[in-house]
Amino acid sequence: MADKYDVIVVGAGPGGVTCGALLAKWGLKTLVVDKNSQVGGKAMTLSKNGFRYEYYPIWPCPGAESQIHAALKVLGIEDRVELIQPDPFGLMHYETPSGEIRTMIMRGPGHPMDPQDLFKLLGVGEADTDEVLRLFGEVALMAPHDQDLLDDVSTIEFLDRYRIPRSVYSFFATLQSEGTIEVPSDIACASEVVKIFQQLVTGGSGCYPAGGLGAMYEAIAGAAQANGSDILLETRVERIVVLNGRVGGVFTEKGAFYAPIVVSNAGIQPTVLKLVGEEHFDKSYVNYVRDLVPSLGFAGARYILNKPVLEYPVYLYFSDNTVSTTDHIIKAKSGQMPEQIYVFISTNSLFPGMAPQGKQLVHTGLSCPADPKVDPKTWLDKVEAEVARIWPDVVKHIEEREYYGSAHISALSRDSVVPGAGGECIGLGQIVGQCGKHKPSAKAPIIGLFYVGADAGSTGFFANNLAVASGMNVAKTVLQYFKTHPAKPG
């Protein structure tokens, strides 16, 4: 391996590996370094006891016309990764105030949701039909300029503009806030919610790469290597070297590597506060970075079932009372869980080669604080009680359970350098003040330093697609920078 490169990418998560692969394709001598033994960050796929699965319940959404499809195409490897578009994708369960659990099928791409089915699920009567259609119509058809006006509006404030039944309100506020972007609905940014909803309407619920998300990111890493990039795994970057306000390379546990450009996928807060060091930045920028708010973390469970129980990949449950707010999160932290919670179960064992014959691996869980120090037990107890109530057949067939919380997420992906952060599911929270025109810049105030991934470089997408979109955007920015800023000798 060389020790001098045009660009070093710290982290091979979805954003980092996409960015590195594109820069290599465009002719830059690129090194991608990750502390883990596999690429893919939070979306890596594991092989264990005949199963292949992600650590977490991960579904790239939408199912078609996504940023992932676009990245594979730009890299010229769209034929090497099969993106399976399950149809039906899953079941949506809505519990009425009287305790009846109603069900609606979620279809794959090419099968837009029939408003009549949704109205039946949510019990929308004739008197409410016009207003509910106004909401869905305006959201589905909102022009980009009007979406941008919602950068400073929360999901709840946006929904309050419509006189809609509580069931419709909850459908939107539960599923599009906590259920998608992993933030409470009173701070979730409405422009993000509208953009992602439009993508789901056009592209369908979700897709799954054959062999797992990790296999897809390995194919992207393979493309990087085919174009001359080096991928160095099991190597933690200890320090991003900065001299006189200019990036010079990285110090790792396996030695130093030099480059005039470093792109960090390690999260903005860990990059500024730990890898570079706050002494290299203005105090006001350090304060801005410290103040950024993470998405929620996750208290999760994986069950191995002794027979396949789930027929579809994803099952969602919500009721009129599952809209979560920051107040709910604070109360849950002190042990007061809400009576009803948004809960889901999902499996990837339905896809070829993902599970031994006759078995199924099921994911479930609940959003919790991103703080790695928070014990996930309170959230897991609640989730398990709800899973037993809503999907009793799953529980009857559990032969093995594994649990995790935000500490596991932090250890796999980003260091905790700010109190309460590290174990976030997505990255920075897609909340009012951090999205659209307020999204942190991917260009750091140090010459040659950039951020990539869910934290910066793209806005208005869901998780993996957000990070991959960032990978593409930041690669373009870095290429322009590289062309216009020839490296100084030495």
Ligand X SMILES: Cc1cc2nc3c(=O)[nH]c(=O)nc-3n(C[C@H](O)[C@H](O)[C@H](O)COP(=O)(O)OP(=O)(O)OC[C@H]3O[C@@H](n4cnc5c(N)ncnc54)[C@H](O)[C@@H]3O)c2cc1C
Beta bridge partners of 314: 90, 346
Nearer to ligand X, 139 or 467 (CB): 467
Specify the stretch interacting with ligand X by CB under 6 A; choose among 100-108, 194-202, 226-234, 420-428: 420-428
The reply on whether position 104 binds ligand X by CB under 6 A is: no
Say how far apart CA 203 and CA 446 lie, in whole Å: 39
Nearer to ligand X, 92 or 425 (CB): 425
For the chain, what is the HEC assignment? CCCECCEEEECCCHHHHHHHHHHHHCCCCEEEECCCCCCCHHHCEEEECCEEEECCCCCCCCCCCCHHHHHHHHHCCCCCCCEECCCCCEEEEEECCCCCEEEEEECCCCCCCCHHHHHHHHCCCHHHHHHHHHHHHHHHHCCHHHHHCCCCCEHHHHHCCCCCCHHHHHHHHHHHHHHHHCCCCCCEEHHHHHHHHHHHHHHCCCCEECCCHHHHHHHHHHHHHHCCCEEECCCCEEEEEEECCEEEEEEECCEEEECCEEEECCCHHHHHHHHHHHHHCCHHHHHHHHCCCECCEEEEEEEEECCCCCCCCEEEEEECCCCCCHHHHHHHHCCCCCCCCCEEEECCCCCCCCCCCCCEEEEEEEEECCCCCCCCHHHHHHHHHHHHHHCHHHHHCEEEEEEECHHHHHHHCCCCCCCCCCCCCCCECCECCCCHHHCCCCECCCECEEECCCCCCCCCCCCHHHHHHHHHHHHHHHHHHHHHCCCCCC
Footprint on residues 380-409 left by ligand X (CB under 6 A): 409
Q: Please give the size of the binding site for ligand X, defined by CB under 6 A.
A: 37
Q: Which of 9, 24, 28, 43 binds ligand X (CB under 6 A)?
A: 43
The reply on whether position 5 binds ligand X by CB under 6 A is: no
Nearer to ligand X, 58 or 187 (CB): 58
Q: Which of 62, 422, 436, 453 binds ligand X (CB under 6 A)?
A: 453
The reply on whether position 57 binds ligand X by CB under 6 A is: yes
Residue 346 exposed, middle or buried by CB count within 10 Å (0-12, 13-18, 19+): buried
The reply on whether position 294 binds ligand X by CB under 6 A is: no
Say how far apart CA 395 and CA 41 lie, in whole Å: 30
The reply on whether position 15 binds ligand X by CB under 6 A is: yes
Minimum distance from residue 228 beta carbon to ligand X (Å): 21
The reply on whether position 167 binds ligand X by CB under 6 A is: no
Specify the stretch interacting with ligand X by CB under 6 A; choose among 75-83, 104-112, 187-195, 419-427: 419-427
The reply on whether position 236 binds ligand X by CB under 6 A is: yes
Nearer to ligand X, 322 or 364 (CB): 364
The reply on whether position 426 binds ligand X by CB under 6 A is: yes
Q: Is 388:21 a contact under the CB 8 Å cutoff?
A: no
The reply on whether position 237 binds ligand X by CB under 6 A is: yes
Minimum distance from residue 206 beta carbon to ligand X (Å): 8
Q: Give the chain's length.
A: 490
Specify the stretch interacting with ligand X by CB under 6 A; choose among 12-20, 190-198, 215-223, 354-362: 12-20
Minimum distance from residue 489 beta carbon to ligand X (Å): 28
Minimum distance from residue 271 beta carbon to ligand X (Å): 8
Specify the stretch interacting with ligand X by CB under 6 A; choose among 32-40, 171-179, 219-227, 391-399: 32-40
The reply on whether position 414 binds ligand X by CB under 6 A is: yes
- Contacting residues for 483 by C-beta, under 8 A, at least 6 apart: none
Nearer to ligand X, 150 or 463 (CB): 463
Nearer to ligand X, 194 or 409 (CB): 409
Q: Which of 5, 56, 169, 257 binds ligand X (CB under 6 A)?
A: 56
Say how far apart CA 170 and CA 132 lie, in whole Å: 13
Q: Which of 21, 22, 32, 33 binds ligand X (CB under 6 A)?
A: 33
φ and ψ at 200, to 5 degrees? Answer: -70, -40
Beta bridge partners of 367: 298
Q: Which of 421, 464, 478, 482 binds ligand X (CB under 6 A)?
A: 464
Nearer to ligand X, 60 or 108 (CB): 60
The reply on whether position 34 binds ligand X by CB under 6 A is: yes
Minimum distance from residue 488 beta carbon to ligand X (Å): 26
Q: Which of 9, 20, 22, 41 binds ligand X (CB under 6 A)?
A: 41
Minimum distance from residue 397 beta carbon to ligand X (Å): 23
Minimum distance from residue 326 beta carbon to ligand X (Å): 20
Minimum distance from residue 60 beta carbon to ligand X (Å): 5
Nearer to ligand X, 139 or 426 (CB): 426
Q: Which of 5, 7, 16, 196 binds ligand X (CB under 6 A)?
A: 16
Residues that bind ligand X (CB under 6 A): 10-16, 33-36, 41-43, 56-60, 236-237, 265-266, 298, 300, 409, 413-414, 425-427, 453-454, 462-464, 467
